[in-house]
Structure 1
Amino acid sequence: MDESSGVRSGDEGPGLPESAKTALTTGAVARHLGVSPTTLRSWDRRYGLGPAVRPDGRHRRWTPRDVAMLETMCRLTSAGVPPAEAARTVLQPVGGAPVPGASQRTGSVPRTPAPEREPVSGDTRQECRGLSRAAVRLDAAAVDERLTCAVDRHGLAVAWQEVMVPALHTVGRRWASSGDRYVEVEHLLSWHVSTTLRRCTPAPVAHDGAGPVVLACVPGEEHTLPLEALNAALGEQGVPVRMFGAAVPAEALTAAVRRLGPAAVVLWAQARSTASLPLARHVAAAEWGVKGARRQPTVVLGGPGWAGRAMPGMVRPPGLREALAALTAGYGDLAAAPPGR
């Protein structure tokens, strides 16, 4: 084996095509492209950007043609093209002719990454336990690997609701029941969850249609992870988003709404003490546009702080998947809505 190039010179075998005899290992390709091997495996599973030749019983091998396709994928995603769109471009070049070997790949490319995928194998409860145990051991590498695998296997929405949130609750209960022990565990897990969510968030793209979706925690609210998950999921769907994060002052939020003219505003409140009905009504009443064509945002209330409060005209989804469905559907409706709706 040539360690510098990743080529296994003794593995060719008499039945392999010539291209397979000079192919690279996944590690060598990852080093060449400056991405992680996990990213290459994810592109293979999600979009079919895997090696065209897979010798039986052997590790995957990447031919020069495969590497050239991956280089194009990297250039497109670095320029801000969503991964699914970039993969379609790579696999279906100008003229519509399929890339040679693409029919042997893992499958066709979906129009958008599927955030609603159900688990295809395994038990998410077991994955949650494994993630919690890795966090308790303060094993950062294992935590990061388990989070990445959960997103790759189930999609972001399922991974968030069935793996990340239960693990965070488990660690939180340990902290609450043991004094100040495990606080470092919760901080480590939260940091890696946030890192994973941001890694999954596509680069923002320009949009000429309806205004963006604004995501903001209400004043005094510091819990941003649910909004980070929603930000990533909306980005996967190509919805323009403005993420303002924790504890946004009421005056600043109102000013941003008037400047941006958003299709919807999501207000996150973890605790009842921070959930302000007057603020929600104030945001819902914000208007912009010329006289006779005034617009107002749809207000979406997220988080347990809003529980048990009746707010006519506002949306209160119970979870990420429901929020994503309401916002993507509402985004299309709002984009087509007549002025002064």
Structure 2
Amino acid sequence: MDAGAKDGDDRTDEDVRQGGGLTTGEVARRLGVAPTTIRTWDRRYGLGPDAHTGGRHRRWTATDVARLERMCALTATGLAPAEAARLARADAPSDQAPPPPRPAPAQASAGRARSRAGSGLRLGDVRQECKGIARAALRLDAAALDGLIAAAIAEHGLVTAWAEVIVPTLQAVGRKWESSGEKYVEVEHFLSWHVSGALRLAAPPVAAARPGATTVLACVPGEGHTLPLEALAAALAERGIAVRMFGGALPVEALIAAVRRTGPVAVGLWAQSRTTASRPLAQHVAAMEWGVLGARRKPTVLTLGPGWAGQTVAGLPRPPGLAEAVATVQSIVGR
């Protein structure tokens, strides 16, 4: 860690006033954003320091930092940066007129406009929260991302937040990655990791296993996309249903062993791709039996995910989304 980071982060507003202000790097660490983000806000929206010291180094006063904090808070809600900057400048103290945006040469301005358009995400007609989450993901702003995802789950409930906030944002990031030569792969990984953490935090402790009432969830062999299954595990735990989650690419032998050891009432098999969905595997698990002779039981196998399209297994439910999967498992457990 940079030793200067601690010194800068520990300085109080009074220290800033007495000591001539913070450097751009210190401000960035305090706000949890990249220094380039602060410089961009300065250049595009006039959110730079009110006063300049000699030389090329800029010093940010407590008033300057407060304006940037307001900018961060507004953009985190999904507000467009230009509008957020206008409001942040309007909140400046009345005795200090906010500086106007600095003009730039026409050629450089055009280049920045193209860059800005190229880095945006096509979200379409979505909830406002999607825009805030997308911007936090693009900034790699961990604190803001965690807060926004948690707030969406708390406000809308886990199932609705997944379907109407998280999934549209994940899809937009995925499209951006695919269309830009994997340029934004770090954003997708970053967002997925934080969504996974939020799902676990939102779910209550896993219910104790009960005979004939446990649900096993696993990705089929070769399948590593676990997030949708994590959302289902969290939603079932939220409803007090005992879940045993085995994550991605569970080998066939391990899946069979898990089913035999837990005796589940339901087994959810996730396949993102048609190349990983296996009809024989689903049929084999659905035919497994356990229990005393004369009262043997079989699990109900749910074929989950787009990979099962065109691979429908007769007699096995294929719920199309999270809400339907939750309802199906609840119905099975309640029998």
Shared fold (TM-score, shorter chain, > 0.5): yes
1:125 deviates by 2.1
Alignment-derived partner of residue 293 in structure 1: 295
Q: Is the 8 A contact 2:213 2:241 kept in 1?
A: no
Q: Give the secondary structure class of the aligned counterpart of 1:214.
A: strand
Separation in 2 of the partners of 1:290 and 1:210?
13
* Aligned pair partner of 2:136 in 120, 129, 134: 134
Separation in 1 of the partners of 2:210 and 2:161?
31
Per-residue CA deviation, residues 72-115 of structure 1 (Å, 9 max, x unaligned), is: xxxxxxxxxxxxxxxxxxxxxxxxxxxxxxxxxxxxxxxxxxxx
Identical residues among aligned pairs (%): 63
Give every structure 1 segment of 4 or more consecutive aligned residues whose post-TM-superposition deviation is greater than 3 Å. Answer: none
More deviation, 182-191/207-216:
207-216
Alignment-derived partner of residue 271 in structure 2: 269
* Aligned pair partner of 2:200 in 198, 201, 221: 198
Q: Give the secondary structure class of the aligned counterpart of 1:149.
A: helix
Residues 332, 324 of structure 1: alpha-carbon distance in 2 compared, 3 angstrom cutoff: same
Separation in 2 of the partners of 1:317 and 1:205?
23
Q: Is the 8 A contact 2:209 2:243 kept in 1?
A: no
Alignment-derived partner of residue 90 in structure 2: none
Per-residue CA deviation, residues 45-78 of structure 1 (Å, 9 max, x unaligned), is: xxxxxxxxxxxxxxxxxxxxxxxxxxxxxxxxxx
Alignment-derived partner of residue 282 in structure 1: 284
Separation in 2 of the partners of 1:234 and 1:294?
25
Give 1:165-176 correspondences, 5 Å limit. 165-176=167-178
Q: Give the secondary structure class of the aligned counterpart of 2:334.
A: helix
Alignment-derived partner of residue 71 in structure 2: none
1:292 deviates by 1.3
1:207 deviates by 4.3
1:205 deviates by 2.8
1:201 deviates by 1.9
Separation in 2 of the partners of 1:205 and 1:140?
30
Q: Give the secondary structure class of the aligned counterpart of 2:127.
A: helix
Q: Give the secondary structure class of the aligned counterpart of 1:266.
A: strand
Separation in 2 of the partners of 1:260 and 1:162?
33
Q: Give the secondary structure class of the aligned counterpart of 1:242.
A: strand
The unaligned stretches of length 5 or more in structure 1 are 1-122, 334-341
Alignment-derived partner of residue 307 in structure 2: 305
Give 1:128-277 correspondences, 5 Å limit. 128-277=130-279
Q: Give the secondary structure class of the aligned counterpart of 1:131.
A: helix
Separation in 1 of the partners of 2:203 and 2:287?
30
1:283 deviates by 0.5
Q: Is the 8 A contact 1:211 1:260 kept in 2?
A: no
Separation in 1 of the partners of 2:179 and 2:250?
31
1:255 deviates by 1.3
Separation in 2 of the partners of 1:317 and 1:310?
11
Q: How many equivalent residue pairs?
A: 211
Separation in 2 of the partners of 1:208 and 1:274?
31
Residues 309, 208 of structure 1: alpha-carbon distance in 2 compared, 3 angstrom cutoff: closer
Per-residue CA deviation, residues 191-221 of structure 1 (Å, 9 max, x unaligned), is: 1000000111211232445230000000001
Separation in 2 of the partners of 1:310 and 1:188?
33
CA RMSD between the two structures: 1.2
Letter of the aligned partner of 1:218 in structure 2?
V
Per-residue CA deviation, residues 7-66 of structure 1 (Å, 9 max, x unaligned), is: xxxxxxxxxxxxxxxxxxxxxxxxxxxxxxxxxxxxxxxxxxxxxxxxxxxxxxxxxxxx
Separation in 2 of the partners of 1:142 and 1:200?
17
Q: Greater helix percent: which structure?
A: 2
Q: Give the secondary structure class of the aligned counterpart of 1:195.
A: helix
Separation in 1 of the partners of 2:312 and 2:237?
30
1:124 deviates by 5.3
Separation in 2 of the partners of 1:205 and 1:318?
25
TM-score of the two chains, using structure 1 as the length reference: 0.60
Separation in 2 of the partners of 1:272 and 1:265?
19
Separation in 1 of the partners of 2:210 and 2:280?
32
Question: Of the two, which has the highest radius of gyration?
Answer: 2
Separation in 2 of the partners of 1:285 and 1:209?
18
1:127 deviates by 1.1
The unaligned stretches of length 5 or more in structure 2 are 1-124
Separation in 2 of the partners of 1:171 and 1:208?
40
